[in-house]
């Protein structure tokens, strides 16, 4: 029979079933040919005959291809699948964590980086990612803590302009930004003459703000924005 001859073409073992051969999928992922990787690895993943180790490799390869095609959710789904088959993969935890971070899911990203470090304490990328994310969380927490608060203590505010700034979160943030830019500028390397000039201009800005607030034609927000622009032109921020 023809089929028998094909099956035993060498007279010994049957020819290998190419449908479950992982080589084409993995070769495409190394090329890299993203569309070809997705097609070949999908066939491998969907084949019930695929060995567990090959299925994991195919899922990782396809996840990488999806990531490069900017299909983040599909990439994460494939990393999920790979970890369900074998959760002890530090590289996969780290890779999924990076995608979760891109999506803004910081708690899950931190958990993935921590899992990668637990599995491999020497995983440099996971350690760097975990550290960077911790710093970002700390920065966001610090920003949240001061959001809507000006550079001065509202509890001791007496002037009308100060009370107006305290009552308006947008103006409060703007006041804090003006003061922060001013302080950075003072800290910059500049001559004593430049520093004195900058301090004098800041004092004049505050004095004019206090004096003219509430008068017809005075726009507090505009004055704050103009001052911020002036300072940023000095300190380069």
Task: Work out the pLDDT band at 188, boundaries 50, 70, 90.
Answer: confident
Residue range 166-195: mean pLDDT, rounded = 86
The residue behind tokens 């899950």 is 108
Give residues with Cβ within 8 angstroms of 63, minimum separation 6: 74, 75, 76, 77, 78, 79, 82, 95
Give residues with Cβ within 8 angstroms of 200, minimum separation 6: none
Q: How many other CB atoms are found less than 10 A from the CB of residue 52?
A: 9
- The full set of domains in the chain, from first to last, is 2-144 (1.25.40.10), 154-235 (no CATH)
**What is the pTM (predicted TM-score) of this model?**
0.55
Dist. CA 57–CA 12, nearest whole Å:
30
Task: Work out the pLDDT band at 8, boundaries 50, 70, 90.
Answer: very low
| Lowest pLDDT segment from 4-18, 58-72, 215-229 | 4-18
DSSP summary character for residue 90: H
User: 75: buried, middle or exposed (CB in 10 Å: 19+, 13-18, 0-12)?
Assistant: buried
Residue range 171-176: mean pLDDT, rounded = 92
**Between these two residues, 226 and 29, which has the higher pLDDT value?**
226
Among positive and negative, which fits the CA dihedral 115, 121, 127, 131? positive
Dist. CA 214–CA 158, nearest whole Å:
15
Among positive and negative, which fits the CA dihedral 225, 226, 229, 230? negative
């Amino acid at each position: 029979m023809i089929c028998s001859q094909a099956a035993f073409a060498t007279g010994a073992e049957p020819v290998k079933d190419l449908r479950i051969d992982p080589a084409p999928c993995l070769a495409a992922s190394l090329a890299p040919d993203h569309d070809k990787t997705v097609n070949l690895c999908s066939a491998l993943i969907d084949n019930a005959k695929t060995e567990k180790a090959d299925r994991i490799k195919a899922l990782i390869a396809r996840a990488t291809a999806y990531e490069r095609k900017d299909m983040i959710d599909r990439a994460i789904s494939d990393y999920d699948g790979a970890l369900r088959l074998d959760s002890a993969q530090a590289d996969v935890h780290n890779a999924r964590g990076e995608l979760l971070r891109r999506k803004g899911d910081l708690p899950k990203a931190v958990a993935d980086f921590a899992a990668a470090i637990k599995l491999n304490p020497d995983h440099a990328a996971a350690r760097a990612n975990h550290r960077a994310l911790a710093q970002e969380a700390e920065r966001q927490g610090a920003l949240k803590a001061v959001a809507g608060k000006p550079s001065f203590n509202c509890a001791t505010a007496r002037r009308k302009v100060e009370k107006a700034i305290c009552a308006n979160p947008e103006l409060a943030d703007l006041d804090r930004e003006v003061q922060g830019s001013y302080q950075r500028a003072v800290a910059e390397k500049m001559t004593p003459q430049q520093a004195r000039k900058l301090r004098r201009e800041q004092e004049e800005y505050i004095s004019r703000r206090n004096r003219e607030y509430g008068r017809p034609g005075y726009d507090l927000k505009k004055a704050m924005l103009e001052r911020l622009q002036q300072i940023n032109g000095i300190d380069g921020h």
